[in-house]
Amino acid sequence: MICPDCHNYLDETNKFCTSCNWKCEIRDDIPIYLSSHDNKDETFQRYLLNYDEISEDDLHTSIQDTEYLQIQNEKLFSYIPPVKGLAVCEIGVGKGLLLQHIKKEGPQKLVGIDISIPYLKTIKHNEGIDLIVANAENLPYENEFDIIIAADIIEHVFNIGDFLYCVQRALKPGGCFVVKTPNDEDINIYSRKRGCKYNFVHLRNFNKQTLKTVLTGAGFNIEKVIYDGFYAYR
């Protein structure tokens, strides 16, 4: 693991950076790997509170149809390369549905990352899964994972370039990145003026070409694009 502040390697036993003195915070038994800048930045703190609100609402009454979510996670899992014996990371774990599928296949290491403590608290007692809070645009890993999955995350981040740079850095050479995002979505539905209660939801939309452009621009080689799933009411 690397320091969120100076990006030198951490003393993982003590979760401490000997270069800049950054130290990991523990909250509700969950390690918090946020940089000093993120902890001080008012916009990012509003972003955190926003997603705590979304996750608490979602845990109380599922925002998406639960059967649809289960089917989509099963389909997404079927597209991921075999994980047995590999180091795997999911960014944006939500309720942990995909993590459970991956865990059953026996990865050598399984890490789940989210910025929402309410989500992580509901799944923190699962043995064999390491859970942390981290900013997707400043992942505290280098050359660590064989496979990284980010389902419905890339449309949420502030800076796509930072996010994809950090994914590249966290992957081992030849590693695989599996990314899922809505296709050509009308993001007017997230307008506060039109009734959306949250400040930050989907900040942009993608189609096949724009997604390929940002991925290849970040240095990824695209092996496959799959269209899957549909919201009839949208």
pLDDT digits 0-9 by tens, 131-163: 999 999 999 999 999 999 999 999 999 999 999
pLDDT at 209: 96
- Give the strand pairing for 171-180 and 87-91: unpaired
Task: Give the whole-angstrom CA distance, residue 78 versus residue 24.
Answer: 35
Q: Whole-angstrom Cα distance, residue 219 to residue 222?
A: 10
What pLDDT shows up at residue 180?
96
pLDDT at site 14: 86
Helices (H), the chain: 36-40, 42-60, 66-79, 97-104, 117-123, 160-170, 208-217
Q: What local confidence, expressed as pLDDT, does residue 20 receive?
A: 96
Burial of 26 (0-12, 13-18, 19+ CB in 10 A): exposed
> Is the separation of the CB atoms in 160 and 189 below 8 Å?
no
65 Ramachandran zone, left/alpha/beta (phi>0; psi -120 to 50)? beta
pLDDT for the residue numbered 116: 95
- Whether residue 30 contacts residue 132, with contact meaning beta carbons closer than 8 Å, is answered with yes
Q: Which residues have a Cβ under 8 Å from the Cβ of 101 and sit 6 or more positions away?
A: 73, 74, 77
pLDDT along the chain (234 residues), means of 10: 96 92 95 97 97 96 90 94 97 95 96 96 90 98 98 97 98 97 94 95 96 97 91 67
pLDDT for the residue numbered 165:
98
- What is the model's pLDDT at position 213? 97
Q: How far apart are CA 88 and CA 218, in angstroms?
A: 20
Model confidence pLDDT, tens digit, residues 110-130: 999 999 999 999 998 888 999
User: pLDDT value at position 65?
Assistant: 87
End-to-end CA distance of the chain: 41
Distance of CA 160 to the CA centre of its chain: 12
CB 206 within 8 A of CB 180: no
pLDDT of residue 126: 82
Q: What is the pLDDT of residue 102?
A: 96
